[in-house]
Amino acid sequence: MQVIMAKEVGFCFGVKRAIKLAEKALREYGRVYSLGPIIHNTQVIEALREKGLEPLTDITLTDKKPVVIPSHGVSPEVSKRLAGMGMPLIDATCPNVKRVQRLARTANKRGYYVLVFGEKDHAEVKGILGYIEGKGSVFGSVEELKGIPFGKKVALLSQTTQDPARFQEVIPLLLERTEELLVHNTFCKVVISRQKEALGLASQVDCMIVVGSHHSANSRKLAEICLRVQPKTFQIETPKELKGEWFKDVNKVGLTGGTSTPLEVLKEVHKVLLSGHYVI
Ligand code: F3S
């Protein structure tokens, strides 16, 4: 069986930066809090936890340890509250996410109703919504958009890891219902280019494996996009999840990973695929 690994794999710059900042804080302070998972990858979180990075589950705690703001950012209210409690903040928000937050705040100040294309429960989206003082909504599909009572002046932006093709589908609908439509391209270029490569690879192979945490929005999206052209697409977090039955009559396997998936894990999956030693 031939295994073809995508060229664009491993951490994106936003994830690398967040890990670096967390490690620097650990060296400086010893023990540090993280406001939710610093990135969406279980292995990395566990490795950092062993070094002293604890998830902060209750922000009413007042033991004044420094807090790392994760790559997907938080709302201004949360940062203000932590800073007000005297907890030093280490801001590891990805610069791409910061840009979306800034655009949302400016659009709100200029009187636009802000529509965010994304997953309403995702931390990045929750953080962005914090910048628009309740004057906006999040939606994940054309159907959901239809139910939102927005006005005639709308600003449209997207969670950084969404699929641009789906985003484009909503623009005609918004043009029908608005007088002024401001569209910001807030997709992460790393994610788009990874999605494109994965789509091409998935259409050339008999089976596609996407390695990434099930909590990682960009890994899930990657698998969803591959599934459109390759029904045998499977998302796994570690090589232990590979199943022998997926590879019956398969000659070529494609392999890709999310932006928070360590390269070492992809290499391990690659090795297991070549050896054929699946656990199940
Ligand atoms: Fe940032 Fe894009 Fe990575 S938004 S955290 S560079 S996936």
Domains and CATH numbers, the chain: 2-10+189-275 (3.40.1010.20), 13-94 (3.40.50.11270), 96-183 (3.40.1010.20)
Catalytic residues: 124
Cα 187 off chain centre by: 11
Please choose from 11, 12, 72 the residue to mutate so as to test ligand 1's pocket, defined by most ligand atoms within 8 A of CB.
12
Q: Which atom of ligand 1 is nearest to the CA of 161?
A: 7
**Closest CA to ligand 1's atom 3:** 14
Please choose from 38, 186, 191, 219 the residue to mutate so as to test ligand 1's pocket, defined by most ligand atoms within 8 A of CB.
191
Q: Which atom of ligand 1 is nearest to the CA of 17?
A: 5
Work out the number of other CB atoms within 10 angstroms of the CB of residue 129: 21
Q: Which atom of ligand 1 is nearest to the CA of 18?
A: 5
Q: pLDDT tens digits for 98-156?
A: 999 999 999 999 999 999 999 999 999 999 999 999 899 999 999 999 999 999 999 99
Write the CB contacts of 220 (distance below 8 Å, at least 6 apart in sequence): 212, 214, 235
Q: Which atom of ligand 1 is nearest to the CA of 13?
A: 6
Cβ 140 vs Cβ 118: under 8 Å: yes
Confidence band, pLDDT 50/70/90 cuts, at residue 277? confident
How close is the Cα of 187 to the center of ligand 1, in Å? 9
Q: pLDDT tens digits for 174-227?
A: 999 999 999 999 999 999 999 999 999 999 999 999 999 988 889 999 999 999
Q: Which atom of ligand 1 is nearest to the CA of 97?
A: 4
How close is the Cα of 158 to the center of ligand 1, in Å? 13
Q: pLDDT tens digits for 45-97?
A: 999 999 999 988 776 665 778 999 999 999 999 989 888 888 889 999 999 99
Work out the number of other CB atoms within 10 angstroms of the CB of residue 87: 19
How close is the Cα of 160 to the center of ligand 1, in Å? 7
pLDDT of residue 65: 84
CA angle 34, 39, 41 (to 5 degrees): 120
How close is the Cα of 190 to the center of ligand 1, in Å? 7
DSSP H helical ranges for the chain: 13-29, 42-51, 76-84, 95-109, 123-129, 142-146, 164-177, 189-202, 217-229, 263-275
The ligand 1 site (C-beta within 6 Å) comprises: 12-15, 71, 94, 96-97, 160-161, 188, 190-191, 218, 259
Q: What's the whole-number mean pLDDT along residues 159-177?
A: 93
How close is the Cα of 218 to the center of ligand 1, in Å? 9
Please choose from 19, 101, 160 the residue to mutate so as to test ligand 1's pocket, defined by most ligand atoms within 8 A of CB.
160
